[in-house]
Amino acid sequence: MTDRPTRSQRLLVVDLAARSKNWALTPAGERQITETTPNGWRVHLVRALTSSDGDGPREPSPESMDAIREAEVYFGFGVPKPLFLAGKKLRWVHSAAAGVGNALYPEMLASDVMLTNSAGVHAIPIAEYVVAGVLHFFRGLDVAAEQQREARWDKQFFVSDDTPVREVAGARVLIVGAGGIGGQVATRMQALGATCIGVRRHPERGAPQGFERVVGLDGLDAELPRADVVVLAAPLTRESNGFFSAQRLKQLGKGAIVVNVARGALVDESALAGALRNGDLRGAVLDVFREEPLPSDSPLWTLRSALLTPHISPVSPGRFWPRALDLFCDNWLRYDRGEALRNLVDKHAGY
């Protein structure tokens, strides 16, 4: 990377014209960015469409490729490798996504370019999604929906001696990932009477609000047999890829529910489908998958005990951009003043 440009040349490239209207930067958002612009800066708003899926696009638009050559700061959905390589003057990249896996190529890791993300911005809608998914199975709504489709009035599932219908109060919820999303899940589940145990890489940092306690990754296996709900809210890293294996699924009780709002690659999907098919788990709430879109021949589609959604847990119309831009604009002013940035990613840890 070259030396920092002079102040008169400092350029921010904003590449957020998402094809999905739910995620495209709004006119109000554009105004907020331009009105925040510090002295000595200019802003290039890329009009070419881009992808907001997952951790961002794999290929940049020609317009963004042209604009990035003079940019000191880039704000997009991740940063595609060709774009990063062309941005010789880049000093800071901010992603509107929380995950940064697609941006952690060797050239980014070897550089001194700062990378920040939007972790925590999606926490509230995702936490509400988790609560809704847990209640779906705790209250037997999967069975109710099936009976409705069949025009069948049958109380037996709900009133039998061995019914799995239950309240949240008294449930033991194991939350893998005690960051922004995990913390919001814990706060809500605790308010409903659940006991929340967190799993985090650095348990010495203590238990955030909502958690009874936290354990390290080495304590996960001891907690699984007692968990009524397991919520996966951890970033995808080399260590977490596939870590919720068939063996770990077998440690869960038959009444357990698995919720994945992290990344599909954390879970052995074949083993999960088998456990659901065999009745070894009460249910699974899945918003993310190893391959997206989920292939039409996936066995998960056919299972009543699997609640599947197309990676929409963060959707919150009208709320995302105000939160995301408050974070970015605050960071931009911090960067201009030479202060520490919020949400700075540890590029080698992966989050």
Task: Give the single-character DSSP code of 108.
Answer: H
Rounded-to-integer distance, Cα 60 and Cα 49, Å: 9
Q: Tell me whether residue 348 is one of the annotated catalytic residues.
A: no
Is position 44 annotated as part of the catalytic site? Answer: no
Please tell me the total number of residues recorded for the chain in this structure.
351
Catalytic residue among 72, 263, 269, 282: 263
For residue 197 the two structure tokens come to 């145990």
Q: What is the C-alpha separation between 66 and 261, in angstroms, rounded?
A: 35
Buried b (16+ CB within 10 A) or exposed e, 23-35: bebeeebbebbee
| Token couple for 240 | 């977490």
Sheet holding 41-45, edge to edge: 41-45, 10-15, 73-76, 92-95, 114-116
Point out the catalytic residue in the list 146, 239, 292, 339.
292
**Residue among 87, 190, 180 at smallest CA distance from 134:** 190
Q: Is 136 a catalytic residue?
A: no
Given 311, 323, 339, 342, which residue is catalytic?
311
CB-based contacts of 319, cutoff 8 Å, min separation 6 = 124, 125
| CA atoms of 302 and 284, how far apart (whole Å) | 13
Q: How far apart are CA 69 and CA 85, in angstroms?
A: 9
Task: Name the residues annotated as catalytic.
Answer: 263, 292, 311
